[in-house]
Amino acid sequence: MPDRREHGPPWGSGPPPWAADGRFDAGRRFDAGRRFRRGVLGVFLFVVLLVAALASIVASLASGTHPKPTITIAVAALVLVGLVVTARWLWRSGRSIGALMDAADRVADGEYTTRVGPVPGRPYQRLADAFDEMTARLQTNEERRRELLADVAHELRTPLQAIRGATEAMLDGLYPADEEHLRPVMERTDLMARLLDDLRTLSMAEAGVLELHRETVDPRAAVADSVAAARGTDDGIAIDVINEGAPSTIEADPLRLTEILTNLLANAARYTPHGGHVTVTVSPDGADGARFIVDDTGPGISPDQLPRVFDRFVRSADRGGTGLGLAIAKRLVEAHGGTIEAGVAPGGGTRMRFDIPADAGRR
């Protein structure tokens, strides 16, 4: 077993969080920087040549040597054109840099809606586009943070009010502090603890700092363990496992892989009626990867809810749960370098499918 103390960067061995969506192209950005430096060097050499030409004319006149009028006119015209071109370049550069500096000051003051927009000069436009992309991400992160705070406050308010009401009733002597009345308080406390644990896992995964301890894992054994734990709930739902030639080993974090399967099975069981079926299929994906499919015989997901099924706190009002299971599963799958999607099962219920690629440990 590998030493778990030997870790890479805080986001694991996958891509860094700023490269997760594939829009970061280091080579392209660095090439642009080199081209800009070469352009500045070219302008500097051009100015040096102009100064040298002008100095040669002045030196000739000062020494009493009068060059040919055509040469003098040509050099003077070249110097004039060069000065105009250089002045225009400096003006455009100053205008672009000024716009970027003003935008940076506004962002520093917390105005994440700031955008630079079009600026003169191709290199500066690339810089402005990168700046606008950065501010767009900052704005999105700020909006998500505010939404998360609002969601957490909403989700914690109900159990806290129930705990307070029950505690005050027992203190006022309305009913005794026996097991019958204390058990609901403990259940709501457990719900709050699970919610906080889920929020911690989700926030770490979204921030790209969730550490994955990858090992050689048997996906069939992971499925068997998760199914055995789900069957132990005894809720009248049959759970079947189908092995379609799954690989014997994959590189994954065994605890996180089990957490993904547990969340998907819990979600499937929650929406499957009594006497229904849940089927877990494990099959190969690519060369040595694994694909996991969880089908249920529940009512399915409406088309208008499919785009939001992996969002935080999305759940039916009558089904319970914290509403974070699928969001956590999605982030954990992506941390492994895989993909997850929701769809319609062959029987009309819900299908959750996710893949763990063979090279997840090397990304």
Are 173 and 195 found together in one domain? yes
Alpha helices, DSSP H, located in 6-121: 26-62, 69-108
Contact yes or no for 230/268 (Cβ under 8 A): no
Alpha helices, DSSP H, located in 172-240: 179-207, 219-231
Residue 213 burial (10 A CB sphere; 0-12, 13-18, 19+):
middle
Which pLDDT score, from 0 to 100, does residue 36 have? 62
Q: What is the CATH number of the domain that holds 250?
A: 3.30.565.10
Which pLDDT score, from 0 to 100, does residue 66 have? 63
**What is the C-alpha separation between 328 and 309, in angstroms, rounded?**
12
Residue 78 reports pLDDT greater than 80:
no
Are 230 and 95 found together in one domain? no
Q: Of 1-5, 28-32, 81-85, 258-262, which range is least confident?
A: 1-5
Mean pLDDT, rounded, for 190-219:
83
Angle at Cα 336 formed by Cα 332 and Cα 337, nearest 5°?
115
Q: Examine the fold and report which residue of 87, 117, 139 is the final residue of a domain before the chain moves on.
A: 139
The H or E element containing residue 289 is strand 289-296
At 65, the pLDDT band (50, 70, 90 cuts) reads: low
Which pLDDT score, from 0 to 100, does residue 333 have? 92
Are 49 and 179 found together in one domain? no
Are 221 and 344 found together in one domain? yes
Which pLDDT score, from 0 to 100, does residue 222 have? 92
Which pLDDT score, from 0 to 100, does residue 72 have? 67
At 38, the pLDDT band (50, 70, 90 cuts) reads: low
Are 327 and 225 found together in one domain? yes
Number of helical (H) and strand (E) elements in the chain, helices listed first: 7, 7
Residue 127: half-sphere exposure toward Cβ, Cα within 13 Å: 18
- Domain hosting 236: range is 215-362
**What is the C-alpha separation between 35 and 351, in angstroms, rounded?**
50
Residue 96 reports pLDDT greater than 90:
no
**What is the C-alpha separation between 290 and 245, in angstroms, rounded?**
10
Tokens representing 83 are: 């000065």
The pLDDT > 90 percentage for the chain reads 15
Residue 6 lies in a domain: no
Residue 33 reports pLDDT greater than 70:
no
Are 197 and 222 found together in one domain? no
Which pLDDT score, from 0 to 100, does residue 184 have? 87
Q: What is the CATH number of the domain that holds 168?
A: 1.10.287.130
At 82, the pLDDT band (50, 70, 90 cuts) reads: confident
Residue 2 lies in a domain: no
Which pLDDT score, from 0 to 100, does residue 198 have? 80
* Residue 189 or 26, more confident: 189
Mean pLDDT, rounded, for 112-141:
83
Please give the radius of gyration of the chain, using alpha carbons only, rounded to the nearest integer. 32
Residue 90 CA: distances (Å) to CA of 43, 95, 122, 310, 342: 10, 8, 14, 50, 54
Mean of pLDDT over the chain: 78
Residue 9 lies in a domain: no
Mean pLDDT, rounded, for 106-133:
84
* Residue in 200, 328, 307 with CA at minimum distance from that of residue 260: 328
The pLDDT > 70 percentage for the chain reads 80
Which pLDDT score, from 0 to 100, does residue 13 have? 43
Are 355 and 245 found together in one domain? yes
* Residue in 203, 207, 287 with CA at minimum distance from that of residue 20: 207
Tokens representing 342 are: 């929701």
Mean pLDDT, rounded, for 98-123:
84
Residue 8 reports pLDDT greater than 70:
no
**For the chain, how many structural domains are there in total?**
3
- Give per-residue pLDDT as tens, 148-169: 777 777 778 888 888 888 899 8
Residue 3 lies in a domain: no
* Residue 184 or 123, more confident: 184
Reported pTM: 0.57
Q: Of 89-93, 161-165, 317-321, 351-355, which range is least confident?
A: 317-321
Mean pLDDT, rounded, for 298-309:
82
